[in-house]
Amino acid sequence: MVTKSLHKRESDLANSNRQLEILSNGIFQNGELPTFKAKIAETNQFPLKAKKLEILQINVGYMCNQVCEHCHVDAGPDRKEIMTRETMQQCLVVIKNTGAHTLDLTGGAPEMNPDFRWFVEEAAKAGIKDFIVRSNLTIIRANKKYYDLPEFFKKHNVHVVSSMPHWTRGKTDKQRGDGVFDKSIKALQELNAIGYGMPNSGLKLDLVYNPSGAFLPGDQMSMEKDFKKALLEDFNIQFHNLFAITNLPISRFLDYLIASENYEDYMYSLVEAYNPAAVSNVMCTNTLSVSWDGYLYDCDFNQMLELPVNSKSKHISEFNEDLLEGRKIVISQHCYGCTAGAGSSCQGVVA
Ligand code: SF4
Ligand code: SF4
């Protein structure tokens, strides 16, 4: 089980250039597999361009109480990158003025940012239609100071989106750490108890599934049925939707693929499962990602690869929605993860 981030371990892969080198060399350099650019050009979809902004996703820091094996953020207790209140204030100016209908707070564990509650309170006042917080669930049980998070979320009508890789203890703990399953179940029961995830409840609770190994997720609808049945029968837990997400070959998942000698096979699976119909709806076409230090990226994955937006508007302090619309999306081979099968995004399938 992983216990430290790649950064703390001073791994080669903590360096985003090294990750990009791996993704560009080998099977993609020698022509065994087509690059993502060549693949989308086959259907005249290159360059991929941003449409109207709909979702603003803000990463408030890479600190997390967990160190999951697959984490694309390389998050963990040892990561100290945290959004300051000053940068949050710059974000609030944008939140109040943007035409985006969804605000999506992520991390790390976003709740660990010391200004998290202040930020949620201020952002909620902007009255944005869908206000998502991505919670790993265990944070709710990690320390007394987080025990009231369900009530806090309810008070601000936050839409909770939580990771839950499986309905069994073994598979969940293998990917996310010992004890994660039991704490997640407890947290879900607490959220249910105040109305989250209940049928017809306006308090939205969605779960996120991602595979625990070098394989692609199954059909989202049938997995949702299986999750709902098992969680209800075993723990009396209810939730609204399940999002099935493909693991992208970056950061700790790339490290896992290389260490388990699955990298090439996984890239082959992604390319074989390429679905041209998913390209026009990949999340970078309607989403913008803001990093803990305020820089703008096409998505959270590009943020971790340190591939900034291709626009003159590069920082939240100089945010210009008109300039950002129509920008050319920065792509590399990791993008195959978003176009495999039914496609994948933070909101689940896209095609
Ligand atoms: S809970 Fe999420 S952010 Fe934290 S280590 Fe796991 S995957 Fe990464
Ligand atoms: S990885 Fe990011 S840039 Fe690439 S297709 Fe997916 S959302 Fe777009």
**Closest atom of ligand 1 relative to the 65 alpha carbon:** 4
* Phi, then psi, of 336 in degrees rounded to 5: -55, -25
Cα 255 to the chain's mean position, in Å? 18
Q: Which residues contact 62 (CB under 8 A, 6 or more apart)?
A: 73, 74, 75, 76, 79, 80, 81, 82, 107, 108, 292
Nearest to 205, CA basis, from 152, 151, 135, 145: 135
8-state DSSP, 316:
G
Q: What pLDDT is recorded for position 13?
A: 97
Q: Find the ligand nearest to 62 CA.
A: 1
The predicted model scores a pTM of: 0.96
Degrees to nearest 5, angle at CA 33 with 31 and 37:
95
Token output for 337: 């993860």
- 229 close to 186: Cβ distance less than 8 angstroms: no
Q: Is 67 in the pocket of ligand 1 (CB under 6 A)?
A: yes
**Ligand 1 and 142: CB distance under 6 A:** no
Q: Which residues line ligand 2 (CB under 6 A)?
A: 282-284, 298-299, 301-302, 329, 331, 334-335, 338
Identify the residue whose tokens are 């119909």: 277
Distance 46 CA to ligand 1 centre (A): 32
What per-residue confidence (pLDDT) applies to 174? 86
CA distance 31 to 25: 10
Rounded to 5 degrees, φ, ψ at 206 are -115, 150
- The verdict on the CB of residue 57 being under 6 Å from ligand 1 is no
Angle between helix 85-97 and 116-125 (nearest 10): 20
Ligand 1, atom 8: closest residue by C-alpha:
71
pLDDT at res. 343: 82
Q: Nearest bound ligand to CA 6?
A: 1
Would the CB of 73 count as within 6 Å of ligand 1? Answer: yes
Terminal-to-terminal C-alpha distance of the chain:
34
What's the 26 CA to ligand 1 centre distance in angstroms? 29
Taking the CA of 164 as reference, the closest ligand is 1
As to burial, measured by CB atoms within 10 angstroms (0-12 exposed, 13-18 middle, 19+ buried), residue 44 is exposed
C-alpha 97 to ligand 2 mean position (Å): 25
For ligand 2, the distance from its centroid to the CA atom of residue 221, given in whole angstroms, is 23
Query: What local confidence, expressed as pLDDT, does residue 351 receive?
Result: 72
Q: Which of 2, 64, 181, 253 most suits a substitution to test ligand 1, by most atoms within 8 Å of the C-beta?
A: 64
Q: Residue 351: exposed, middle, or buried by beta-carbon count in 10 A (0-12, 13-18, 19+)?
A: middle
Ligand 1 pocket, mutate which of 176, 247, 303 (most atoms under 8 A from CB)? 176
**Atom 5 of ligand 2 has which residue's CA nearest to it?**
335
* Per-residue tokens: 167: 């309905």
Which strand ranges, in their side-by-side order, compose the sheet holding 159-163?
242-244, 205-209, 159-163, 130-135, 102-106, 55-59, 287-290, 296-297
- Which residue ranges of the chain lie beneath pLDDT 70? 1-2
| Residues in contact with 83: Cβ distance below 8 Å, sequence separation at least 6, in sequence order | 58, 59, 60, 61, 91, 113, 115, 292, 293, 294
Q: Which token pair is 137? A: 């669930």
The model's pLDDT over 261-270, given as tens digits with 9 standing for 90+, comes to: 999 999 999 9
The answer to whether the CB of 77 falls within 8 A of the CB of 122 is: no
- What is the CA angle 155-163-279, rounded to 5? 105
Q: Is residue 107 in contact with ligand 1, taking CB distance under 6 Å? A: yes
Sort strands 287-290 and 296-297 into parallel, antiparallel or unpaired. Answer: antiparallel
Best residue for ligand 2 mutational test, from 106, 299, 303 (most atoms within 8 Å of Cβ):
299
